Amino acid sequence: MADGIRRGVALVLSLAFGLAGAWAGWTAVSSGQNAGADAERIARIEGGLLPPVAIKGQPIPTTTLAERMERYKVPGVSVAFFENGRIVWTRGYGYADVGMKSTVSAVTLFHAASIS
């Protein structure tokens, strides 16, 4: 159990760093914008997670959300992006229950444990 929590915490921290970097290239999604452009922006974020550390002068490798989940052996994760205090988009990835093959959604509840 503790190993699973450590993996989950590592993924949360790893995703936080990666998504924060990907967020830098994000522009706001509002209900009036083109859905195709919105999907393109989300795809760039999902596919462009940055490492927690970058070395000056070296290329910055990116990973996908799926690769990061596989690396930390996390079966499911839910992501929500906020801007100006409002939810911009939410999406679930992977499984909430692997045995039952129930997928993660924007409303799936997770045990957060302590990440402070």
pLDDT of residue 81: 84
Give the pLDDT confidence of 49-105 residue by residue, as tens digits. Answer: 999 899 999 999 999 999 999 999 999 999 888 888 988 889 999 999 999 999 999
Mean pLDDT, all residues of the chain = 76
Q: CA–CA separation, 52 vs 12, rounded Å?
A: 12
pLDDT of residue 47: 93
Q: CA–CA separation, 67 vs 71, rounded Å?
A: 6
Per-domain boundaries in the chain: 2-103
pTM of model > 0.75? no
CB 88 within 8 A of CB 29: yes
Closest CA to 5 of 25, 26, 89, 13: 13
Ordered strands of the 76-83 beta sheet: 76-83, 86-97, 102-103
For residue 1, the 8-state DSSP code is -
